[in-house]
Amino acid sequence: MNNIVIVPFNEKYIDDIFKISTMSFITPWTRKSTEEELQNKFARYVVAKLGDVVIGFGGVWLILDEGHITNIAVHPEYRGIGAGDMIVEALIEICRLEGINSMTLEVRKSNIAAQALYKKHGFIEKGIRKGYYTDTKEDGIIMWKFDLSK
């Protein structure tokens, strides 16, 4: 059993989240964008910690009755120990508690590991956004999880 804990995102985690983003995404959000999410009334973010070390994070925007996962990332040195699962579970629980009925996200067509993570948690492929990722023109797979009450 690991000792990973999930905590709410706050300003003391910005540097860690920005660092993990730059290691995880082709085009990471800027530090300013990360800071602005603290003021976004639609955003809910969580941080995964192992002891005092921030090892991952994830976020969701609550829009009407839908949750839109914005990003999930785990530090490369801590992948494969369950942090991603815990982050997804935490975001699903946040949506349930906020009365959200379904969740959606886009994931790079090449990101097989992320697709597997989402499928493990009940997300299904529902479409393709052609050239969605402007940095590489890669397609984005649209995934949904319906009926969060289950």
Q: Which residues are catalytic?
A: 106, 118
Three-class DSSP category at 110? coil
Residues comprising the chain, all counted: 150
List the structure tokens of 141.
């797979």
Spatial distance between the Cα atoms of 21 and 41, rounded to a whole number of angstroms: 22
Residue ranges with strand state E in 30-150: 43-50, 53-63, 66-74, 102-108, 124-133, 138-145
